[in-house]
């Protein structure tokens, strides 16, 4: 069995996020990106860390970079939408979530596209869009 450092960093980051150790998770995301600077998943996890720490603009930049590296990264689109919501950019939030919805639908990920649709409907109703 071959050791996959990218996979190991991703597992560490996920575990640290789950435990609420956001700074440690962020430090590991940065290490992952030093090792693999074109890794879309690394930017995605870094975005999750920044979001958890309340650094929404940094989170937006990380999700955008993840999407730039992988244009079909549905989770990055969805979380970009969530972050835009927190920044009171509701129309942009809906657009990002609609893109995630289309990708999740194409991939037949019913749980994820259902979550997207519920989020979109919530924002539209809440904001009168």
Q: Tens digits of per-residue pLDDT, 66-114?
A: 999 999 999 999 999 999 999 999 999 999 999 999 999 999 999 998 9
* % the chain with pLDDT above 90: 89
What integer pLDDT is reported at residue 81 of this predicted model?
A: 98
What integer pLDDT is reported at residue 3 of this predicted model?
A: 60
State mean pLDDT over 41-68: 97
41, 76, 91, 125 from 108: Cα distances, Å:
21, 17, 25, 26
Whether 47 and 73 have beta carbons less than 8 Å apart is answered as no
pLDDT of residue 2 exceeding 70? no
The pTM for the full model equals: 0.92
């Amino acid at each position: 069995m071959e050791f996959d450092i990218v996979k190991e960093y991703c597992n560490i980051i996920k575990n640290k996020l789950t435990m609420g150790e956001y700074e440690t998770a962020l430090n590991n995301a940065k290490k992952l990106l030093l090792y693999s600077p074109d890794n879309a998943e690394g930017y995605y996890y870094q975005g999750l860390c920044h979001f958890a720490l309340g650094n929404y603009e940094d989170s937006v930049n990380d999700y955008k970079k993840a999407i730039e590296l992988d244009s079909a990264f549905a989770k990055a689109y969805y979380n970009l939408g969530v972050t835009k919501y927190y920044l009171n950019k509701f129309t942009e939030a809906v657009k990002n979530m609609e893109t995630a919805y289309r990708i999740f639908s194409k991939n037949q990920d019913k749980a994820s596209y259902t979550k997207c649709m519920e989020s979109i409907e919530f924002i539209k109703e809440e904001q009168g869009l």
